[in-house]
Amino acid sequence: MPLALPESTLPHPSSAPALNWGILGPGWIASQFAQSLNNLTSSRIGAVGSRTLARSEQFARTYGDGRTRACGSYDAVLSDPAVDAVYIAVPHSGHAELALKAIAAGKHVLVEKPMSLDARQTARVIEAARAAGVFAMEAMWSRFLPIGNVLSQVIESGMLGQVIAIQADFGAKFEVDYGSRIYDPALGGGALLDVGVYPIAFSAMVSPAKQLLHSSGRMAPTGVDASFTAVLANEDGSTATVFSSIETDSPQGAWIAGTEGTLELQRPICCGSALVLRSADGRIADSREFTETSPAAGLGFEAAHVARCIADGLTESPVMPLDESLAIAQTMDAIAAKLRTG
């Protein structure tokens, strides 16, 4: 039987139930989320909160409607009974604290990746959400795009045979500014937390990591990792090599090599532009391009997934389960520890 890529089974985000979203942290990624929410879904922004009221007001004017509340604090959003779910888009260092506050307020939560600074904080968020019975999910938007859906089907079908190796990378060249968030350890800066989570999560989607075999990299003067390479041994017997950097622009792609075929995801890894399926002899068996290659074009898919889960009474996603977020955090902790000790 010839190898072939399946069709995406995702319904359009506009068919998902509507939610009133609260936005915590009206920065760039929140603006992308809001654009995608408005363009693709039937949901709306109910309230937006910042430590600066003027920023909330500007965001509400740009992305809200006449009923969107602009708040000068995060707590004001969390106390709003009209808000169904909150999207936490503050710097990484604030994810866990605000997620715990949102859960305590009875709100469903979508937390930008990484869910927190480390596995200990992530475990606290998961425990709180499960105890409160509210929906919680790490915003790994790659999983919810049409390309992520097709990729998942290929993995689950077994058409690649026994997976032997995985490679994934995400290097992006940031401005060298040691006073910026990306170089600030207190704000969760560095390659690992900011962009390294993508290749690690890609490998985890194929097979959970069992052991960190190797990790090495370059540290910035501020104490964050500027670049790193890690090698993982996975539960299915495969090995994964992941690379990430904030000091160089890498190919930003990924591949899965199996005994019966290879699947290549073309840049950027966070929202791939194409999939190429090769047979065991290396010939191209099938390929497909995808158009959701920016946050503004794709974040609405994860928002729609959250809405469907909540409508179905689910408290976590079957596509991005909480236990997988914790396992990814534990892998990242192991990498970080090795990088610090050399």
- Known catalytic residues are 113
What is the DSSP track for 29-50? Answer: HHHHHHHHHHHH-S-EEEEEE-
For residue 139, the 8-state DSSP code is E
> Which burial class, exposed, middle or buried, applies to 185 when counting CB atoms under 10 A from its CB (0-12, 13-18, 19+)?
middle
- Distance in angstroms (rounded) separating the CA atoms of residues 337 and 230: 12
- Name the residue among 58, 33, 16, 6 with its Cα closest to residue 111: 33
Query: Do 47 and 34 touch, CB atoms closer than 8 A?
Result: no
- Distance in angstroms (rounded) separating the CA atoms of residues 54 and 188: 25
Residue 161 to residues 34, 69, 207, 236, 239, Cα–Cα distance (Å): 40, 52, 14, 12, 15
